[in-house]
Amino acid sequence: MWRFSGNQIKRWRTKANISREQLAAAANYSLNTIKAMEQGVRMPTPRVLDVADELCRAEGLLSAAKEYLSREKFPPRAQEFMEREKEAISLCWYEVTYIPGLLQTEAYATALIQNHVPLLDDETVQERITARMDRQAILTQRKPPVALSFVLYEAALRSPQVDEQQLRRLLELGRLLNVVIQVLPFERATVPALMGPMVLLETRDHERFVFTEGALSSSLSAAPAAVSRATQMLSMIRAEALSPDESARFIERMVDQP
């Protein structure tokens, strides 16, 4: 539907002898953004559809596409994982660089999403922030509660985007009975801890998945060999991490640092 709508914008624009530059200026979008919409890489926004409809005299045919287009709340490569997360009865998460989305404050999430590469338009930024905050219902609103375990490499806590509010949020969530937060200090890192983030997920049907994510790609797998390897790696990482109580004191010291 994205590609079809974008193609229709291009066809109507060409028929009306309207340049891509004219449409971009009228809709207050960059030329590259309009190009991406016409090629089906990005979803045409309601504003672009309405502006194109008026410029190209489409008599409502382009604007009508708004009814059939829905913006995805999550990046395409993470959508399948997000669907599985809704079914989860347990999550074991190891993160190297970032605070996991389920533990983020809105300010921290905003800092990350606003600096996404390539840059996102304002509507997409706001929708993804809202979707990330909505995911956090898993922390307290599921019955029975979801068992959640997080191991955070110290580098994730030392990021410039992590402020006192975010550290206090970790302390607050660590007090929940169904949430375990551990810190892996720099000096305790072993080779498996440096190989990237991973999430082990178990669904209500007791299916087990491993999710891994890198800068350019991600993978969700139920292959027994992949799940077994991730389980072993995560077990080794958790064994080296501080206990939950020690981790809380570690984070408290960071809060108290001037």
Query: Given this model, what pLDDT does residue 76 score?
Result: 62
Query: Given this model, what pLDDT does residue 205 score?
Result: 87
DSSP SS3 for 252 = helix
pLDDT tens per residue, range 165-224: 999 999 999 999 999 999 999 999 999 999 999 999 999 889 999 999 887 788 889 999
pLDDT tens per residue, range 118-142: 888 888 899 899 999 999 999 999 9
**Residue 133 to residues 47, 109, 161, 203, Cα–Cα distance (Å):** 26, 8, 17, 21
**Band of residue 66 on the pLDDT scale cut at 50, 70, 90:** confident
Query: Given this model, what pLDDT does residue 129 score?
Result: 94
DSSP SS3 for 124 = helix
- Backbone region of residue 61 per phi and psi (left: phi > 0; alpha: psi in -120 to 50; beta: other values): alpha
> For all residues of the chain together, what is the average pLDDT?
92
Mean pLDDT of 13-39: 92
More confident residue, 3 or 109: 109
Query: Given this model, what pLDDT does residue 71 score?
Result: 59
pLDDT tens per residue, range 223-236: 999 999 999 999 99
Residue 49 pLDDT > 70, yes or no? yes
Distance CA 8, CA 65 (A): 10
Distance CA 66, CA 218 (A): 30
What string of DSSP letters covers 102-123? Answer: GG--HHHHHHHHHT-SSPPPHH
**Band of residue 77 on the pLDDT scale cut at 50, 70, 90:** low
Residue 106 pLDDT > 70, yes or no? yes
Listed in sequence order, the residues at least 6 apart from 95 whose beta carbon sits closer than 8 Å to its beta carbon are 150, 151, 152, 153, 156, 197
Residue 258 pLDDT > 90, yes or no? no
* pTM more than 0.85: no
Q: DSSP character for 24?
A: H
Query: Given this model, what pLDDT does residue 121 score?
Result: 83
